[in-house]
Each structure stands twice: as structure tokens, then as C-alpha cells.
């Protein structure tokens, strides 16, 4: 799912209202105060010093800046000039020094600057940093102007035009008042999607402030739901800059007017005036009461706007509304069956309201929170990294409750369903328990553990007010070059199928009866179908090489490899399914590559009709835009193909209008719309959202708890795959003097991977947890750490080098898009130095196998595939030091070279470095007897299979595997060994225990 809050931030900024011309300054206005003359008095430097610095969403997005001498400079001799070509977001900041006092701009009316217009019609966002401890802990306030002119023009930006940023704040909001007594500088966000240049000059403060800048009237809420017959209360608060008393009186005249409620029948009209006299303390509150009347008839919700006219202060940004709750209608009766509630509500909805239910927007892209009611939106999401500030459980719940409150202003008060990508724990939340990624869970081969991981994820996610998780990924990864290979449980559909117990961990029982619990979430099976089979080089998305590309398969291959996990998911009652960005090219069907979001034969035909899926289908991020044709065609094609809700993060208004137009024109049938909305409403009722739309934070205290982290610790331990262990080097002993090196030994961000706090993830101390190094220190009495292995190596008993990848997510992580499958030069140097000086173990922390040549492998005594273990490094230490045995098995084939890719179990030519299913063990006695033992195990395995004794059958095959591995580890893994060995693990997962031992026996003979 390609999404990021930072992209949403840029999108929001570019939609702000254009500048309106400001009147001339009053005669007694203070003289203009220069901020930037761009003559060199302010250096190019970043915090904590004062200076001008650039920023952007990736390395290409920060603009190039220089001070340029120009004869036409409006002020002085030089101007600030630059060029830019921004794909995500980018701009520059003049930040004031952290060590110096903030600047007081409160005496002025606004800020102005000279801009060299290019007449490109683009909006330029201008942002102030206000209040707080420093520029990085201040509130952000923003406005914009439009570059629709040529040549130099002085742009005036009155402070009254600046609005508080709701899409992103570095802090949770200090007082939500543009105080201006503690200003830390300004920032300019440049337009996206053009190759442009700019020049600016003469930034200065102008004009005289008035009390309407210093004082504001705030309301406690924009929406006040109330039961029929009760009295609603709206609170008005006067707030001033610096919390000083009012200089002059502030009056608020109010009246109930307009809306859908009838005065005298539904409520008693009120009018009046509230006065805050001069000298009133900031923070003083007054109340306005509006009595509603009871008429005993069943009705939808009705609104009563409370019009406020403010004199002497800045008015509230919105007119508050009293909402008399819907009552007496059958769909509100929780005693009725869900299908009857759905039918009743559906029959009452207008086309516009139905279209709203089918629309999902990114929370940061809302141009106004009131749009939730205006467009009757059915859903919001947080894309990767789209988080409230501060990023706490409490702030999440408060944010989502605020959105749900807006939905209460609609006729039928249909609650939103809020979704996030909690793909390995509630990974957007700082402090959440971060599980190993799916590739590690697949290595555990433990369906019960997958269930427990899902249950912890669900509990922590729902406790923040989020009832919907865009997980699990049921992709069957077939090429390690894919940038999201780690989101898969493995390359074998049988392994993916076995790990789908995670769905019950997330949702509870298959019939949906547990979904209304405070520790369960709606799950999403993604990405339907065959996203793991895309061919290298087939992607047409940006610089991606494989993600969102084309999967070319026969129908038999599609059924056997890629579709099988979805049938299991449907049988397990998964609530939603998300199609893939990729295209499917079915050999022989004559269609060629077709985007999955357009494949009615697969979504309607296979998923809904043949498999009997009764949940709803949600699109991926802006994915319908990739369907060939104009926007109306994209909407029509995707909805007719079977999509029920469309993720249109920024284009929710356009989608809503286009969808209704297509229905009215007859190109989408009303029956199709009713089917989609029925499916969506069914899940909302099952989740209990109509009865409990707001966050149940009762479980918030267990987020990141010791009990939850214990599950993640166990998962990390069981995910470790021991690939090589010469002379039993592992487990380590506490008494050994250990030398630890490598880039991933002490980095919580690297060991957690992508989709951690932000979309692509990042290195460093990004969330609480225990690094592998920290965990090893708890187990070792003598340990030396040197990241780059520069510390002396002498005198140590054993070395542990923790190497691997840095975080990435979909597309950006594709091999050939800035990534490869080799260790970094620094990691290779650390391995060479440490392993050349002592016996050593190398841990590879990565989302996919890393290439290790024969020479390097020969110098390594023990090799561990650690995958991406998450925040609980103790789990890794547990197996390193023998508190738990190594039991993990390879969920994917480990290749010898990139030229072998793609390589998978069952291939006709199969000669890997380590085969699928390989995994040495410790603390376990390997049976002796060789071929004779295998014969006995085979006979017993066949008997267990006939008797349906699965637990016994699996145990017998495991013993046989250990016998074969011991011999192959000594003699070498040849092609003749690898093929039957890998096939045996597939047979084990499909319950064919006798055949599995037979293939292991063949591998043993070959060894």
C-alpha cells in the first residue's frame, strides 16, 4: 500500500485558500521589521544554529538554493534563488537559533515578501513556527499564495490568514493559538510535480496588530450530539496570546438558525449575547444551552446550527452544530439480526450517502474536518507514518474520536471505519509491540504463534480506536528481489495457508461474533491476487523494478500457488480483501496483462461468486488511477469489477462526484452500489460501531506491556534460522569473551524494518525496544562492541557480527531501485576482520536472503538468518545463549547468486545455497541410525497420516529432517540433496507425512 503522511501533508498544503489582498497599513503602524534580506547575513545552516536549510521527502526533493546577485533585486543586491523538481514534498526553512530567545512578532499585522512570479498557477505554502521550547517543538501555522503572475510582486500574508496545521504537527499542540510572542522562523513548501525555479527577497514584518489577532473565541466542539428531549450545551472560551487578560471587551451574539431540525417542534430556539468584559482572564468559559424537544416519533438525526457573531476577537473557525440523535429506527436496534439492520438502513440512504460509504480518504488529506459529514464519508485511514502528534495511544484515540464525532452530524450517523497498516504489530504507534515481519513468522512454522501475534496486534490497535487492519498479506513471494518479500510468510502457498491463523488472532471466530470486542479488529487479506509473482523488470511505476508489475502464469499455476491462500482466508471469515496494484496476465485467456483492480473475472467471479466471500473489497492506495482510461472510466471499471470501497486518499471529492455521475448515467447499476454498501454496513454492524463509535481505551495500558512483548520475544526467538553451526559454536556460553560488531547489532530501526513508525521505516532509535546488542549484554559477563570492528580483536573467544539491510518498504526496496542482495562494504569488512581473527557467528538481519559467496561462507563458523525480529532483541539472544533452542526453518529458498532468481521449492532446476525448509537446531538430540532410522520413521509417518494424527506426523517428519540435515551439513548441500529436501517440507505442510519422509530419505542418500 503506497502511502505516507508526509505526502499527504504536502497535498494538503497545496490546497489551502489563496491569498486575499490585504488593506494598507494604518498610519500609526510600526516600521517594517526585516526578517531576511538575503544579502548573506543569514547563513545556510541547520538547527540548532540560526540559518536557512532545505528538506524533502527523499534525497532528490530538497531544492537547490543559492544567494544570487540580480540587478532587479527588490531589496539590496542579492536574492534567494533556487531550482526544484519535487515528487513528494520539499522546501526550505529559515529557523532561528535554539540557544537564543524566540522572536516576538505579536506587534505586527503580518509578514510579507517579494516573489519572482513564474505564472505556473501553483500554490506556495508559507508556514510559521510558533511557541514551544524551540523550532523543532513549536506549533505549525500555515497559509499560501498562488504564483499566477510574472516578475516581482510583494506578497502580504496577514497573520489572521494563518491556520493551525491539522495534518502534521511536531508537537501535540501547545495552545492552538497563533501567539507570535515566541516565533522560531518560517518555512516555504514548494509545488509538487513540476520542474521549477523561484526567487524571493525582502522578507519582513509589516503593519500593526489588533486585538482580533491577540484574542480568539473557541468552542469546545464543532458537533454536539444529544438525545431527543435533552438540553445541549456549547461552551465558549476566550483565549489570548500569552494568556494575558483582554484589553477590550469581546461579545458573542448567538442564535439557533437553519439546519434540518424544526424550531418549536424539535427544539426551543435561543438567542442572546455573551460578553467577556475587558480584563477577563484568558481561558474564561461561558455556556450556551439549547433545549431539544421530544415528539416520540422515529426520526433520523437533525441538526441545529448555532450561529455566532464575534466582535473584538477572532471567531471560531466553524459554526457549532447541535445534533439531535437519530432514534426509533429499526437499524438502531441492536437486538435485530445484522442483515435486517443493513436492509433497513440501506433503504433509507440517498445515492450521495451511499457513495460516501464507498469513499475512503487519508485523514491528513481532509481539506476540512466537516467534509466527513458533507460527503458522508464511510472511512478514513492513516497511511504509513500518518500519525497524530504526539504519537501516543491517547492521541490516536482522541484523533479518531474527533473524526467519529463529525460522522454524528450526518442524517443516519453511520460511524466511520478507520483503517491502518498494522502489519507487524500496531507499527505506526511509538511504543507499540513490534512483532517480527511475516517472513520471520513463516520461519517459525508455528500457527499458534501467528495467532498470538495477531491477537496482540489486534488488542493494541483497537485500544487506540482503530477497528480495521490492512493485514495480513497473503502474498506468496516468488522472487527475493521484490521489495515487499518480507511481508509474505514464504514462497510456498502451503506455508502461507498454515500461518493464516493470524486472521483468527485479529478477528476472533470466523462468524464475526467477536468483532465487537475491544481487543479485535477487522482483518484484510491482501493483495488479491498474485502480487508475489510479479516478474522482475515488469513494473511501470516510477523506478520500481518488480513491485506493481505483471504476474504471468497459467490458470493452473494461479490456482495452485496464488489463489489457494485466499480460499482459506474466506473460510476463516476474513472481513475485507484488498486487490493488488499488480497486473495479471493469464496465459491463454487472450486479455494480456490487466490491472487487478479491473479484473471482474477475479474479484466478482472467483472471490465473491466462487469462493463465497461476503465481506467487502477495499482498493489499494490510489490504485484505480493505474487503470487505463480517464478518471470516470477508472471509477466505473473498478466498481463494476467488484470493488466496494475505494481508497482515494486525496481525491475523495472527485471520486464521490464521479461515482454518483456514473450511477445517474446508468453506467454503474444501483444494484451494484447497494451490494457494495450492504457489504460495508454489515462489517460496521459486526464491529459494534453503531453502539460504540468511540475508542474503547480500556486496553491501552497493555500496549507495549511485558505480556505482549513476551509474545514478540518468543516470535523473534522462533524466527531465527540456524543455517550453519560448525563444531557447535552456538549456543554461546555466558563465560565466553564475546566481540560484537556490525551495522545491525545496536539499531532498533534496522531490526524492525519497513512499516515501522513510518512507511519506509528508518534506522536508529525510533521506538522503545531492545536491540540485539542490548540483549546480548544481559547474557554476557564479558562483551566488547565495535560497530565497524575497529576495536582490537585480540583476547576474545568468539565474535558475533550482526549485519544485513537497512529499512525499506514496497517499491523502494526492489532490487535495482537503489538496493541489492549483497552486504554493504562496511558489513563485509566487519565480517572479514572478525571472522579472520576468531571463531565467529554472523547474524543476517534482513527482509530477504543476502548473497554470501563460497569464500565468505567458508570463513564463517555459524550463520543465522535473523530476518526482521522487531523490537524484542531478547528473543534473538535467547537462542544465541541457549535459553531456547534454534527451531526456525527457511520460509524461502536461500540462493547462491542473483542469477538463480527466481528460485523456489519445486523448481526443475534447484541448486540453492540453502534449501527451503532448512534450519539446524540446538539443544535437541538428533536421532542416530541413519538410513535405518529413516525407514522406521517413514513407516510410522504413513501410519500417522492414515490415522489423521497430525501432531505425531509432524514430529516424525521433523526427526527425519534433523537426520538429513546433520549429514548434509557435513557433506555439503548439493542439487541432489536440496530438491527432495525442500519438497519434503512442502509435503509436511500439506499433511503428506509418509511422502515427506520418503523425499527426505532420497536427500539423505544423495548426501
Range list of β-strands (E), 241-370: 250-256, 271-276, 285-291, 302-311, 321-324, 359-362
- Residue of 593, 599, 658, 600 lying closest to 632 (CA atoms): 658
**Which residues face 173 on adjacent strands?**
none
Is 352 designated active site? no
Distance of CA 514 to the CA centre of its chain: 25
| DSSP state letter for 226 | E
Q: Are 30 and 208 in contact (CB under 8 A)?
A: yes
Residue 155: how many CA atoms within 13 Å on its side-chain side? 28
Cβ partners under 8 Å of residue 880, min gap 6: 730, 731, 732, 776, 779, 800, 841
Q: Are 284 and 276 in contact (CB under 8 A)?
A: yes
Give phi and psi for 772, each to the nearest 5.
-60, -40
Helix (H) or strand (E) holding 514: none
Task: Say how far apart CA 722 and CA 962 lie, in whole Å.
Answer: 12
Query: Which three three-digit cell numbers place residue 312?
Result: 473584538
- Rg of the Cα atoms in the chain: 31
Q: Are 305 and 318 in contact (CB under 8 A)?
A: no
Q: Is 481 exposed, middle or buried (0-12, 13-18, 19+ CB in 10 A)?
A: buried
Q: How far is CA 702 from CA 258, 518, 688, in A?
A: 46, 12, 22
Kindly provide the b/e burial profile for residues 97-111, where b requires at least 16 CB atoms within 10 angstroms of the residue's own CB.
bbeeebbebbebbbb
Cβ partners under 8 Å of residue 828, min gap 6: 822, 856
Task: Say how far apart CA 531 and CA 535 lie, in whole Å.
Answer: 10
Active-site residue identified among 620, 746, 878, 998: 620
Is 394 designated active site? no
Task: Say how far apart CA 901 and CA 242 lie, in whole Å.
Answer: 64
Q: What is the largest CA-CA distance in the chain?
A: 105
Task: Say how far apart CA 150 and CA 116 lie, in whole Å.
Answer: 7
Helix (H) or strand (E) holding 686: helix 670-686
Instruction: Give the three-class secondary structure for 225.
Output: strand
Q: Is the dihedral of CA 634, 639, 642, 647 positive or negative?
A: positive
Q: Are 141 and 338 in contact (CB under 8 A)?
A: no
- Residue of 215, 701, 791, 661 lying closest to 431 (CA atoms): 701
Q: Is 347 exposed, middle or buried (0-12, 13-18, 19+ CB in 10 A)?
A: exposed
- Nearest 10 degrees: CA dihedral of 420, 421, 423, 428? -80
Q: Are 892 and 848 in contact (CB under 8 A)?
A: yes
Task: Say how far apart CA 289 and CA 68 lie, in whole Å.
Answer: 61
Count of positions (residues) in the chain: 1007
Active-site residue identified among 696, 810, 874, 983: 810
- Residue of 956, 957, 952, 959 lying closest to 926 (CA atoms): 959
Task: Say how far apart CA 294 and CA 291 lie, in whole Å.
Answer: 10
Give the DSSP per-residue string, 844-859.
EESSS-----HHHHHT
Give phi and psi for 236, each to the nearest 5.
-110, 130
Residue 489: how many CA atoms within 13 Å on its side-chain side? 27
Residues marked as catalytic? 620, 810
Amino acid at each position: 500500500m503506497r502511502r505516507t503522511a508526509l505526502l499527504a501533508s504536502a497535498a494538503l498544503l497545496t490546497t489551502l485558500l489563496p491569498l486575499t489582498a490585504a488593506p494598507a497599513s494604518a498610519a500609526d503602524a510600526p516600521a517594517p521589521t526585516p526578517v531576511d534580506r538575503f544579502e548573506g547575513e543569514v547563513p545556510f545552516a541547520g538547527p540548532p544554529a540560526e540559518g536557512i536549510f532545505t528538506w524533502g521527502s527523499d534525497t532528490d526533493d530538497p531544492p537547490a538554493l543559492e544567494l544570487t546577485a540580480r540587478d532587479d533585486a527588490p531589496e539590496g543586491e542579492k536574492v534567494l534563488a533556487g531550482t526544484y523538481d519535487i515528487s513528494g514534498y520539499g522546501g526550505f526553512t529559515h529557523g532561528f537559533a535554539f540557544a537564543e530567545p524566540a522572536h516576538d512578532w505579536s506587534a505586527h499585522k503580518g509578514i510579507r515578501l517579494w516573489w519572482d512570479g513564474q505564472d505556473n498557477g501553483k500554490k506556495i505554502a508559507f508556514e510559521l513556527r510558533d511557541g514551544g521550547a524551540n523550532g523543532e517543538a513549536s506549533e505549525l501555522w500555515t497559509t499560501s499564495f498562488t504564483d499566477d503572475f510574472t516578475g516581482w510582486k510583494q506578497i502580504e500574508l496577514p497573520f489572521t490568514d494563518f491556520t493551525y496545521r491539522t495534518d502534521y504537527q511536531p508537537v501535540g499542540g501547545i495552545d492552538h493559538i497563533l501567539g507570535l510572542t515566541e516565533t522560531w522562523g518560517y518555512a516555504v513548501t514548494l509545488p509538487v510535480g513540476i520542474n521549477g525555479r523561484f526567487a524571493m527577497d525582502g522578507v519582513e514584518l509589516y503593519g500593526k496588530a489588533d486585538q482580533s489577532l491577540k484574542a480568539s473565541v473557541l468552542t469546545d466542539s464543532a458537533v454536539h450530539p444529544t438525545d431527543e428531549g435533552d438540553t445541549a450545551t456549547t461552551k465558549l472560551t476566550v483565549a489570548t496570546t500569552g494568556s494575558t487578560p483582554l484589553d477590550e471587551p469581546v461579545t458573542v451574539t448567538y442564535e439557533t438558525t437553519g439546519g434540518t431540525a424544526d424550531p418549536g417542534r424539535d427544539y426551543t430556539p435561543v438567542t442572546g449575547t455573551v460578553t467577556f468584559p475587558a480584563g477577563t482572564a484568558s481561558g474564561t468559559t461561558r455556556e450556551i444551552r439549547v433545549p431539544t424537544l421530544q415528539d416520540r416519533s422515529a426520526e433520523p438525526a437533525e441538526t441545529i446550527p448555532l450561529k455566532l457573531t464575534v466582535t473584538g476577537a477572532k471567531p471560531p473557525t466553524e459554526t457549532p452544530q447541535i445534533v439531535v440523535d437519530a432514534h426509533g429506527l429499526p437499524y438502531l436496534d441492536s437486538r435485530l439480526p445484522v442483515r435486517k439492520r443493513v436492509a433497513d438502513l440501506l433503504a433509507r440512504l440517498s445515492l450521495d450517502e451511499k457513495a460516501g460509504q464507498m469513499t475512503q480518504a487519508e485523514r491528513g488529506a481532509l481539506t476540512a474536518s466537516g467534509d466527513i459529514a458533507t460527503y458522508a464519508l464511510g472511512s478514513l485511514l492513516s497511511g504509513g507514518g500518518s500519525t497524530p502528534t504526539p504519537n501516543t495511544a491517547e492521541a490516536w484515540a482522541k484523533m479518531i474520536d474527533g473524526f467519529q464525532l463529525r460522522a454524528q452530524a450526518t442524517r443516519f450517523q453511520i460511524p466511520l471505519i478507520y483503517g491502518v497498516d498494522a502489519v507487524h504489530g500496531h507499527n505506526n504507534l511509538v511504543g507499540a509491540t513490534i512483532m517480527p515481519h511475516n517472513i520471520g513468522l513463516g520461519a517459525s512454522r508455528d500457527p499458534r504463534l501467528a495467532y498470538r501475534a495477531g491477537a496482540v496486534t489486534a488488542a493494541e490497535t483497537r485500544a487506540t480506536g482503530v477497528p480495521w487492519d490492512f493485514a495480513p498479506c497473503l502474498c506468496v513471494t516468488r522472487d527475493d528481489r521484490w521489495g515487499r518479500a518480507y511481508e509474505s510468510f514464504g514462497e510456498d502457498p502451503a506455508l502461507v495457508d498454515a500461518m493464516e491463523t493470524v486472521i483468527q488472532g485479529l478477528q476472533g471466530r470466523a462468524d464475526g461474533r467477536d468483532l465487537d470486542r475491544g481487543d479485535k479488529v477487522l482483518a484484510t487479506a491482501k493483495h488479491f491476487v498474485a502480487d508475489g509473482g510479479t516478474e522482475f523488470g515488469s513494473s511501470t511505476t516510477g523506478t520500481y523494478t518488480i513491485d506493481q508489475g505483471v504476474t504471468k502464469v497459467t490458470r493452473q499455476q494461479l490456482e495452485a500457488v496464488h489463489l489457494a491462500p485466499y480460499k482459506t482466508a474466506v473460510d476463516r471469515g476474513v472481513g475485507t480483501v484488498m486487490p493488488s496494484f499488480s497486473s495479471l496476465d493469464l496465459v491463454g485467456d487472450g486479455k494480456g496483462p490487466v490491472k487487478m483492480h479491473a479484473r471482474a473475472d477475479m474479484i466478482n467471479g472467483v472471490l465473491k461468486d466462487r469462493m463465497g466471500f461476503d465481506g467487502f473489497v477495499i482498493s489499494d492506495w490510489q490504485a484505480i488511477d493505474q487503470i487505463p482510461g480517464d478518471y470516470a472510466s477508472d471509477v466505473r471499471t473498478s466498481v463494476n469489477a467488484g470493488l466496494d470501497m475505494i481508497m482515494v486518499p486525496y481525491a475523495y471529492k472527485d471520486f464521490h462526484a464521479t461515482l454518483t455521475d456514473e450511477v445517474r448515467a446508468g453506467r454503474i447499476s444501483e444494484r451494484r452500489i447497494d451490494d457494495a454498501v450492504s457489504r460495508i454496513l454489515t462489517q460496521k454492524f459486526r464491529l459494534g460501531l453503531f453502539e460504540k463509535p468511540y475508542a474503547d481505551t480500556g486496553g491501552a495500558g497493555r500496549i507495549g506491556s511485558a505480556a505482549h512483548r513476551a509474545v514478540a520475544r518468543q516470535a523473534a526467538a522462533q524466527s531465527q534460522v540456524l543455517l550453519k553451526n560448525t563444531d557447535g559454536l552456538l549456543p554461546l556460553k555466558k563465560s565466553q569473551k564475546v566481540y560484537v560488531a556490525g551495522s545491525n547489532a545496536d539499531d532498533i530501526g534496522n531490526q524492525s524494518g519497513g512499516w515501522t513508525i513510518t512507511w519506509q521505516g528508518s534506522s536508529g532509535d525510533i521506538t522503545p525496544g531492545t536491540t540485539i546488542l542490548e540483549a546480548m549484554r544481559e547474557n554476557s559477563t564479558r562483551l566488547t562492541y565495535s560497530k565497524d570492528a575497529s576495536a582490537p580483536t585480540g583476547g576474545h573467544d568468539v565474535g558475533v557480527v550482526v549485519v544485513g539491510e537497512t529499512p525499506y518498504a514496497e517499491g523502494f526496496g526492489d532490487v535495482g531501485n537503489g538496493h541489492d542482495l549483497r552486504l554493504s562494504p562496511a558489513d563485509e569488512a566487519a565480517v572479514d576482520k572478525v571472522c579472520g581473527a576468531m571463531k565467529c557467528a554472523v547474524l543476517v538481519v534482513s527482509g530477504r536472503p543476502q548473497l554470501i559467496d563460497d569464500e565468505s561462507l567458508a570463513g564463517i563458523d555459524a550463520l543465522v538468518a535473523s530476518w526482521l525480529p522487531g523490537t524484542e532483541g531478547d528473543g534473538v539472544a535467547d537462542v544465541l545463549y541457549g535459553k531456547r533452542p534454534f527451531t526456525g526453518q527457511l520460509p524461502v529458498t536461500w540462493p547462491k547468486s542473483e542469477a538463480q532468481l527466481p528460485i523456489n521449492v519445486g523448481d526443475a532446476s534447484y541448486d540453492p545455497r540453502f534449501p527451503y525448509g532448512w534450519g539446524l537446531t540446538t539443544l535437541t538430540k538428533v536421532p542416530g541410525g541413519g538410513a535405518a532410522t529413516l525407514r522406521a520413521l517413514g513407516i510410522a509417518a504413513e501410519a500417522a497420516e492414515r490415522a489423521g494424527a497430525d501432531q505425531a506426523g509432524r514430529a516424525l517428519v521433523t526427526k527425519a529432517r534433523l537426520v538429513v540435515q546433520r549429514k548434509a551439513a557435513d557433506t555439503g548441500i548439493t542439487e541432489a540433496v536440496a530438491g527432495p529436501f525442500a519438497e519434503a517440507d512442502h509435503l509436511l505442510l500439506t499433511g503428506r507425512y509418509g511422502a515427506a519422509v520418503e523425499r527426505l530419505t532420497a536427500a539423505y542418500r544423495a548426501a
